[in-house]
Amino acid sequence: MLIDSHCHLNYKGLIEDQANVLERSRAAGVDLMLNIATRESEWDDVLGTAIREPDVWATVGIHPHEADEHPHIDTTKLVERAAHPRVVGIGETGLDYYYDHSDRERQQKSFRSHIVAARDTGLPLIVHTRDAEEDTLSIMGDEMGKGGFTGVIHCFTASGAFADAAMELGFYISISGIVTFKSAKDLQETAARLPLDRLLVETDSPFLAPVPHRGRPCEPAFVADTAKFLAHLRGESIEELAAATSANFRALFSKVA
């Protein structure tokens, strides 16, 4: 069985047919799905899906793109919402300097608020980083010095050196369908050497559909295609990779148990 460690079931492209999306995922061997929040307005819906569906869990957080629109979301509000038994992670949060949809200082402030919430709750942090490796590592390292926290670098596309540094801080690395793209040679090299006990798989659906589903809205069922590609890339059986990534997810997101 596989676990999709990062999806957006309430986004356009999936929400219109959510029941069938879930059924297709289960038929593909997806055991659990983590439904990720990115803005306050969707918190209730993301959680509602997790309450309704026993194999779906939820997070609470503000995407770095949304930091400008959410200056009122602080650690206290995150901790309060994370108390719900179906909320098992904080995020997604982080830094995105590629699009710069929000002011960088505000992104950094939001990121730190999420880190403190992760530390206070003991829940893992879901980190988005794009074109911001140095600042992401600097903030994570600085905050780690104030007290430990756990988490995952989701939809990993950064450098191999960044992966090594994140794992030294105790983080997991989650691989999406991008790894199946012909253009993703650097990512493939990194993914091939990541320690099996630090690896997760995800779809980030409805985005980034893997080969052979390019051009379609992605959905959690497609994590099976990413896992098969990744297992072949690493010289492992799909059974071995599925078992390990599922065990890693349950170790990191321990509230699921």
Q: Are 58 and 94 in contact (CB under 8 A)?
A: no
* pLDDT over 70 percentage in the chain: 100
d(CA 170, CA 129): 17
To 10 degrees, what angle do helices 133-144 and 160-168 make?
10
DSSP character at residue 28: T
What's the whole-number mean pLDDT along residues 225-252?
98
What's the whole-number mean pLDDT along residues 221-248?
98
pLDDT in tens, 167-201: 999 999 999 999 999 999 999 999 999 999 999 99
Reported confidence tier of residue 3, pLDDT bands at 50, 70, 90: very high
Q: Quote the pTM value.
A: 0.97
Q: What is the distance of C-alpha 45 from the center of its chain?
A: 18
Reported confidence tier of residue 12, pLDDT bands at 50, 70, 90: very high
pLDDT in tens, 81-93: 999 999 999 999 9
Q: Which pLDDT does position 133 carry in this prediction?
A: 98
- CA nearest 209: which of 187, 194, 224? 224
Q: Which pLDDT does position 202 carry in this prediction?
A: 98
Q: Which pLDDT does position 121 carry in this prediction?
A: 98
Q: Are 4 and 30 in contact (CB under 8 A)?
A: yes
In this structure, what token pair is assigned to residue 31? 């055991």
| End-to-end Cα spacing for the chain | 16
What's the whole-number mean pLDDT along residues 109-123?
98
How much is the mean pLDDT over the chain? 98
Q: Which CATH number characterizes residue 13's domain?
A: 3.20.20.140
In this structure, what token pair is assigned to residue 217? 């809205």
By CB atoms closer than 10 A (0-12, 13-18, 19+), residue 110 is buried
Q: Which pLDDT does position 34 carry in this prediction?
A: 98
Q: Which pLDDT does position 257 carry in this prediction?
A: 87
Domain carrying residue 103: 2-256
What's the whole-number mean pLDDT along residues 102-116?
98
d(CA 245, CA 174): 9
Q: What is the distance of C-alpha 146 from the center of its chain?
A: 24
Q: Which pLDDT does position 6 carry in this prediction?
A: 98
Q: Which residue has the tokens 């699921």?
A: 256
Number of folded domains that form the chain? 1
pLDDT in tens, 14-61: 999 999 999 999 999 999 999 999 999 999 999 999 999 999 999 999
